[in-house]
Chains A and B, each alone.
Chain A
Amino acid sequence: MEIRTLFISYVIWLFFVRYLTITGLGPFGSFARDISAFMLGKGLGPAADLMEDRAGGAAKTWFAHGIFWFIIAATLSFLSMWTAYEPNALHSLGAIGYSPSVAQATAAIHVVTAFGALSMILMAAGFAMQGRLSGGRMANEATTALIAFVWSAVIAAGLILSHTDLIGTSSWFELPPVYYILLTFLALPLFVNHLLTMANSGSPVMIAQWFIVMGYAAFIWLGVVSMFLLGGENHTLSWLLVKVLFGGWLLSQALGIAHHVIPSALGVPLWSRSLATLTLFGTFLTFSPLGAVASIPSMGPFMQAMVAILLSLSLVPLIATVVNLTKTASGRVMESYGVKFTLLGVILLIPISFGSLFASVSAFGGGNELAHIASTLDTLALWGVFGMIALGSIHLLFPQVTGRELFSCAKKKMTFWFATVGVVGFGTSQFIVDYVNNSIGAADVSLALEEAGVSAVGAGDVQAFAAIMFYGVALAGVFAAQNMLQGSFRGVALSDGAPASNVITAQMAISGTTSIRNLLASGAGVDTVLTVDGGSSEGRISLANISPAEEASEEADAETEEDEEQSAVEIPDNLSKMLKAELVELAKAAGVPTTGTKSDLIDRLSA
């Protein structure tokens, strides 16, 4: 099938979903909403009662499954890198029947990483975000949580299948096509749940929500179109499937999360609305350079030129994203680990996309001269971009759905540094390995070496170094999982679900209906000037939920009394014999700064 036809069908489907979303589930209106709600709820029969239909329950379950697969996927990737250095390292496992070929190990990594770990965490973040932006919860939480278990079972089945002879040669889609149709079948109710949640809320659809819902549309198209692989090998289709998997699904989900996490964590609106819109359209209407390993042996010059143009244009939304989100977080990156992770992932998009662009253009009917670095670029895209944004969502959105902070700040720090050093260290050293091995493997070089009687050792030790560096990513997953688990049981309870805004926005344009919560989340304050529908004087803002002035003044009086009580804390004489933790508590109670060494604290308390 021609790539032109396939791409046009993709674009038409996306526009149809956009129409459905704008019109609140389309022309069927309330009937579609009712039947969808029934199918997601009571339609399942007794199975619907297996999970609790509690706000945030779906996202929590998906996060828990996602982080488990994150550790498994990172471990499998590490083992694959290590066996490239030492092929016999795991031969002892042959005794229990585990001796995968390189192709089987690669297929296992692909299914667990792309469809398991990263998809599940990004989907979890999507549920958390959607619920928060649409009135506090998804339309259906119980069934969505239940599907997480089924999805995990399908990923586990994929992991087993990838170690059999059933795998094919289509890169990133090695398993039988029916497997991807099954995943699409599972994604369909989740997609409907998103549409239903948005239709029920009536709030204006934000950019982040568009990314999420259009991403689901792309994923569903992916499963349906992969059926054509049943007809035999099809390079064009395989190429397009990889591009939609990376650009339409993973990238769109990651960008949706990034466009929510950074403004939400910092309490400021996005720097530019037009750049965000450009990113949204550009992501879906161009070919993503990510997924560089996909190749087509031969293609006509016209199609080569068209695809090269669309690949190049895809850099525009990526650059727009980086600028927009960097400016949004300008000067305040260090305030939240969610922002740190997310922004690092977003910034890494630029070098990885540029590298992938050259590799992709060369791989589309060209000489594929950069094939030796394509796999490394894909691994970096997965773990450096999507993995980092996924970890960012865990650090911001997981506490919101559990109602408790992550347990340990030290573990957050370790997760960040292990992941960062792991990805950067792996990337730099693996590129060295790729280039050295490619150079040594070249026909003229190997002939010259043979004639000179020299045997080249390759870059084996650097390969080991790259694997060890990547091990940091697996450890980051373990630390994040421990922090999530302990935090959900014993973390500090979040006092208020409403986001706190540190920077008050001076002016804000709103259209349609919105809530006070959304305004506060976007950085509005009491002095913010609201412009309804681009300057029109029409419009109405309800202030029914604001407390009466008397109550406010009573609260203010109570706070003043508390402040007076705090300043009257008795300072003991034997400060030097107290532990630092006790001094910090005392300093908090006395209302003096709690930073610095023990002697600094004693000086402040004694003054």
Chain B
Amino acid sequence: MSELPEMTQGQDEPAASTAVWTLSLVGAFAFMILYGVLYPNHPFPGLGDILPLFSELGSSVVWFFIAGIILGLSMLLAMLVGESIAE
């Protein structure tokens, strides 16, 4: 029976990890753009294609972006309410 090490997760956050994060995101983003260019007949699924609840919104990708803004504004509202109650 092997003994588990005392600690497997470190606390350090080297600066290079931020660079890896950024490069990964840029790479994924670049791929998504290339995908649309290379395979124009296979568009990305829209919010309505993934969640049937939103099927009436159509299949445009723009709804993901709009959802992001709505999420941001909702967080603002939640913060405002939360901070006021905490006060």
A598 and B12 form a contact (CB under 8 A): yes
Given known contacts A71-B73, A482-B75, A489-B87, A90 and B62 CB-to-CB distance under 8 angstroms:
yes
| A206 is an interface residue with CB less than 8 A from chain B | no
* Residues of chain A within 8 A of B69, CB atoms compared: 71, 75, 474, 478
A89, A474, A478, A579 pick with most chain B CB within 10 angstroms:
A89
Docked complex Cα distance between A286 and B58 (Å)? 49
Docked complex Cα distance between A86 and B36 (Å)? 14
| B33 is an interface residue with CB less than 8 A from chain A | yes
A579 and B79 form a contact (CB under 8 A): no
Interface string of B8-24 (1 = CB under 8 A from A): 00011010000000000
A71, A92, A475 pick with most chain B CB within 10 angstroms:
A92
A489 and B83 form a contact (CB under 8 A): yes
| A95 is an interface residue with CB less than 8 A from chain B | yes
* Residues of chain B within 8 A of A478, CB atoms compared: 69, 72-73, 75-76
A71 and B79 form a contact (CB under 8 A): no
Interface residue ranges of B1-44 to A (CB < 8 Å): 11-12, 14, 33, 36-37
| B51 is an interface residue with CB less than 8 A from chain A | no
**Contact partner of B58 among A89, A464, A482, CB < 8 A?**
A89
| B53 is an interface residue with CB less than 8 A from chain A | no
Interface string of B49-77 (1 = CB under 8 A from A): 00000001110101001101100110110
B80 and A485 form a contact (CB under 8 A): yes
| A332 is an interface residue with CB less than 8 A from chain B | no
A482 and B65 form a contact (CB under 8 A): no
A89 and B86 form a contact (CB under 8 A): no
**Contact partner of B72 among A79, A82, A475, CB < 8 A?**
A475
* Residues of chain A within 8 A of B72, CB atoms compared: 71, 475, 478, 482
Docked complex Cα distance between A315 and B1 (Å)? 78
Given known contacts A482-B79, A485-B83, A86 and B73 CB-to-CB distance under 8 angstroms:
no
Docked complex Cα distance between A91 and B56 (Å)? 10
Docked complex Cα distance between A429 and B14 (Å)? 33
Interface residue ranges of A588-602 to B (CB < 8 Å): 597-598
Docked complex Cα distance between A584 and B86 (Å)? 29
B73 and A598 form a contact (CB under 8 A): no
Docked complex Cα distance between A489 and B85 (Å)? 11
| A127 is an interface residue with CB less than 8 A from chain B | no
Given known contacts A71-B73, A461-B36, A489-B86, A82 and B79 CB-to-CB distance under 8 angstroms:
no
A91 and B75 form a contact (CB under 8 A): no
Number of A-B contacts (CB under 8 A): 62
Interface residue ranges of A560-607 to B (CB < 8 Å): 579-580, 597-598
Docked complex Cα distance between A82 and B69 (Å)? 15
Given known contacts A82-B62, A82-B65, A91-B58, A481 and B83 CB-to-CB distance under 8 angstroms:
no
B60 and A88 form a contact (CB under 8 A): yes
**Contact partner of B65 among A71, A92, A471, A598, CB < 8 A?**
A471
| A486 is an interface residue with CB less than 8 A from chain B | yes
Interface residue ranges of A84-122 to B (CB < 8 Å): 86, 88-92, 95
Chain A residue nearest in CB terms to B57? A92
* Residues of chain A within 8 A of B33, CB atoms compared: 461, 465
B62 and A89 form a contact (CB under 8 A): yes
B56 and A490 form a contact (CB under 8 A): no
**Contact partner of B12 among A88, A489, A597, CB < 8 A?**
A597
Given known contacts A78-B65, A474-B69, A598-B12, A485 and B60 CB-to-CB distance under 8 angstroms:
no
Docked complex Cα distance between A78 and B69 (Å)? 11
Docked complex Cα distance between A79 and B33 (Å)? 18
B79 and A486 form a contact (CB under 8 A): yes
Docked complex Cα distance between A579 and B62 (Å)? 43
B62 and A490 form a contact (CB under 8 A): no
Interface string of A405-444 (1 = CB under 8 A from B): 0000000000000000000000000000000000000000
A sample of 22 inter-chain contacts (CB < 8 A) reads A71-B69, A71-B72, A82-B65, A86-B62, A88-B60, A89-B58, A90-B60, A92-B57, A92-B58, A461-B33, A461-B37, A471-B65, A471-B68, A478-B75, A481-B76, A482-B76, A485-B80, A485-B83, A489-B86, A580-B11, A598-B11, A598-B12
- Further pairs besides A485-B76, A598-B12: 4, Cβ < 8 Å: A78-B65, A88-B60, A486-B79, A489-B83
Q: List the 9 closest A-B pairs by CB distance, nearest first.
A: A478-B72, A89-B60, A489-B83, A89-B62, A92-B58, A92-B57, A82-B62, A75-B69, A485-B79
